[in-house]
Amino acid sequence: MRSSVLAPWLVGALTIGVSLSISSAVYAQDEGVSPSEGEGDAAKPAEGGDADTAGAPKKEDEEKLGGWGVGGKEGDGNFKPHGKTGKLKELEDDQEERRIVDATPANLGRPGNSWVDVVIAPGGSIIVPIQVGGPTEVAPGASFVLGTTYRAWDKWEFGIRFGVSSSATNGPRQALLVGSRDPDSFKQIATGNLEVSLRPFFKLTPSTVVPVGLALVLPTAMGDMFADPDSRVELARWNVNQSASAMRGWEDKALFEPHRFAIVPSVGAIYQRPMGSGVAAGTLVLEGRTKLEIMALTGGKDPSIDPSAQNVQGDVKDVAVNWLLGGSAGFAMLDGLVTPSLKAWFVYASPTSTFGSIEASGAQLVVEPGVATSVPFGASGNLRFQGRLSGILPLGGPLGSGNQATPAGIAGLRVAAGLSF
């Protein structure tokens, strides 16, 4: 009877003891210590400590819990702001946008270009020193410059230009008899000079490029101001080239000076910056340039042969110069489909020929407002049509109000078209 009563209690005690042993082993395994070590730590204080802190957590546990006796650190949660906000965020975005814009490389376009540049003068007048007594009328006149350039290795640009012009001119002299031929009235076609050029492009920054050029102008232009009386066609061709140079605002005087070989050094700067957004987005294009046309005499008639029957001596300069300083500003929109722009240049031309006190020279300011377009076509889009329409307007000076006591003035309408490839 006694053994039957103790048996269940003994079984129960054994069951509880086994359960506690298993629980202690599992707990010790989770904490990385053996059950015996856990029992030792609970039974005695740690080395160097006292009994009051024997139950304190270890240092690494204390950091997890936020300190002994202090609650643990609360997490930031899912709504913690990341990065800068508010004004700092706007400043950061602006700085990043400026960095991207400043790093945007200048777009020099396709490497190859071929074009025809036409300038038309419906009317006007120029100074032809040998035609004394007043200005020489131009009505009408047209100048054609054909050119092509190719930029190799995105740096070295080789170019060639050639001019052909036509105009009807009428000097101040009148016909001696009614119905007879006007001795100063001409209508002729004349070729200009041939120019070959080389321009390397140097990148100062991703958005700023500096082209440095050198051109040689070969003397192929027709005409002579001091032509023989029986070769008046040469005077007419001289008038044609002088008209072409004048209606272009003396921008390329060396292209239209007969019997002149020219060396033309030049330097410029091109800066581009993307601006705006949406439909107002575009690229600001700023350009500056200067060049010096040094024109040396290569031939022509001796001015001592004076066809005017006057006791006035003519003179042809051995060397003449034409210095230009200018720039332009444009805003290319819709991938270059529309680009309004304004060009301006100041030019100083020394005389090539004089007759008495009359010469076509001096300082001249010219402005050229206009609009350009660039339209891609073809399957690859590598071909683009380039076009420009602008007005060449001299402000005062020899081309705007005459030279000395001889009033004159001429303006031009430019129409240019070409292909880039």
Q: What is the pLDDT of residues 354-386, one digit of tens each?
A: 998 889 999 999 999 999 999 998 777 789 999
pLDDT score, position 407: 73
pLDDT band, residue 109 (cuts 50/70/90): confident
Q: What number is the average pLDDT over the span 276-286?
A: 86
pLDDT score, position 381: 74
pLDDT score, position 232: 86
Peptide bond between residue 172 and the one before it cis (omega within 30 degrees of 0): no
pLDDT score, position 356: 85
pLDDT score, position 145: 98
Tokens at residue 151, please? Answer: 């930029």
CA 77 to chain centre: 51
pLDDT band, residue 228 (cuts 50/70/90): confident
Q: What number is the average pLDDT over the span 300-304?
A: 83
Q: Which of 23-27, 99-103, 351-355, 401-405 has the highest mean pLDDT?
A: 351-355
DSSP E strands, 73-155: 112-121, 124-126, 136-152
pLDDT band, residue 184 (cuts 50/70/90): confident
Determine the Cα–Cα distance for residues 257 and 261; give it in Å rounded to an integer: 9
Tokens at residue 158, please? Answer: 């080789």
pLDDT score, position 93: 55
Determine the Cα–Cα distance for residues 155 and 132; give it in Å rounded to an integer: 49
Determine the Cα–Cα distance for residues 173 and 185; give it in Å rounded to an integer: 9
- For the chain, the distance separating the N- and C-terminal CA atoms, rounded to the nearest angstrom, is 117
Give yes or no for residue 82 having a pLDDT over 60. no
pLDDT band, residue 406 (cuts 50/70/90): low
Q: Which residue has the higher pLDDT, 34 or 62?
A: 62
Buried b (16+ CB within 10 A) or exposed e, 231-265: eeebbbbbbbbbbbbbbbbbbbbbbbbbbbbbebe
Give yes or no for residue 319 having a pLDDT over 90. yes
Determine the Cα–Cα distance for residues 343 and 80; give it in Å rounded to an integer: 55
Tokens at residue 117, please? Answer: 């540049």
Determine the Cα–Cα distance for residues 25 and 19; give it in Å rounded to an integer: 10
Q: Which of 12-26, 115-129, 277-291, 294-308 has the highest mean pLDDT?
A: 115-129
Phi, psi of 93 (to 5 degrees): -65, -40
Give yes or no for residue 239 having a pLDDT over 70. yes
Q: pTM value? A: 0.74
Phi, psi of 5 (to 5 degrees): -80, -40
pLDDT score, position 303: 83
Tokens at residue 88, please? Answer: 């700092």
Mean pLDDT of all residues belonging to the chain: 81
Summarised one tens digit per residue, pLDDT across range 240-279 is: 999 999 999 999 999 999 999 999 999 999 999 998 887 7
Determine the Cα–Cα distance for residues 77 and 65; give it in Å rounded to an integer: 18
